[in-house]
A and B are shown apart, each in its own frame.
Chain A
Amino acid sequence: DAKTTQPPSMDCAEGRAANLPCNHSTISGNEYVYWYRQIHSQGPQYIIHGLKNNETNEMASLIITEDRKSSTLILPHATLRDTAVYYCIVRGPGNKLVFGAGTILRVKS
């Protein structure tokens, strides 16, 4: 599975949109982009996933570039409870989820 690169940490003001970038320049055609987050001392929580098109659900939006080499997770109105480690993972069908270092998002009031 393709490797991903994320910034180690980001800060965001409460109520503002949090935009978390992820580079996956070696992604192949059948690999999906998944986003999970982990709040301290809890199991990871699924957020969203996509292949080529932009996706939106009740938690977030996922914007994937046309060449699919990068993506951005958008939390439209960040709250203090969104403070967590966010993981961007690329996975092929039937393959394992392998976690990288992720991005520590700190939402500040």
Chain B
Amino acid sequence: GAVVSQHPSWVICKSGTSVKIECRSLDFQATTMFWYRQFPKQSLMLMATSNEGSKATYEQGVEKDKFLINHASLTLSTLTVTSAHPEDSSFYICSARRGGGGSYNEQFFGPGTRLTVL
């Protein structure tokens, strides 16, 4: 299957700082990328959907000014957690979908980034 990478795999930062997480599709072009967040013992929660070259669409309750998403190319999307606080500590997972989003386009997930805010 297709490979999606994330960097870093884990990060610890101080409260008030910003953290950038990169998501790359390594062997395919992803017109659409997704960002999820997962708290311990909970399911994945979709945060936002981004299409290459356009602004991200955020799910209800997700602050777009806090979670900045940039999908500058067909293989790279970044999530920046601005002014991070301890409650932002979570497992952030990106996902990339090939092609135009038709029924047969599987969605592939990255390995996740563990963010801990002190």
Count residues of A near B (Cβ-Cβ below 8 Å): 23
Closest to A93 in B: B103
A10 adjacent to chain B (CB < 8 Å): no
Q: Which residue from B4, B49, B112, B114 sits with its C-beta under 8 Å from A96?
A: B49
Establish whether residues A44 and B46, one from each chain, have CB atoms under 8 Å apart when the complex forms: no
Which bracket fits the contact residues of B?
Answer: 20 to 34
Q: Which residues of B contact A94 (CB under 8 A)?
A: 100-102
Closest to A44 in B: B109
What's the Cα separation between A102 and B100 when bound, in Å? 27
B106 adjacent to chain A (CB < 8 Å): yes
Closest to A49 in B: B106
Establish whether residues B103 and A32, one from each chain, have CB atoms under 8 Å apart when the complex forms: yes
Chain A 93-107 interface residues, beta-carbon cutoff 8 Å to B: 93-94, 96-102
Interface core residue of A41, A51, A96, A102 (most chain B CB under 10 Å): A96
Contact residues of A: prevailing secondary structure: loop
Query: Interface code A26-68, partner B: CB below 8 Å = 1, 0 otherwise?
Result: 0000101010101001111110010100000000000000000
Q: A46-B1, A93-B102, A94-B101 are known contacts. Are A102 and B43 too (CB-CB below 8 A)?
A: yes
Establish whether residues A43 and B103, one from each chain, have CB atoms under 8 Å apart when the complex forms: no
Tally of A-B Cβ pairs under 8 angstroms: 53
Closest to B42 in A: A101
Query: Interface code B44-80, partner A: CB below 8 Å = 1, 0 otherwise?
Result: 1110010000000000000000000000000000000
Establish whether residues A43 and B102, one from each chain, have CB atoms under 8 Å apart when the complex forms: no
What's the Cα separation between A41 and B41 when bound, in Å? 10
Q: Which residue from B44, B91, B101 sits with its C-beta under 8 Å from A99?
A: B44
Establish whether residues B46 and A98, one from each chain, have CB atoms under 8 Å apart when the complex forms: yes
Q: Which residues of A contact B36 (CB under 8 A)?
A: 99
Interface core residue of A41, A44, A45, A51 (most chain B CB under 10 Å): A44
Interfacial residues, chain A to chain B (CB-CB below 8 A): 30, 32, 34, 36, 38, 41-46, 49, 51, 87, 93-94, 96-102
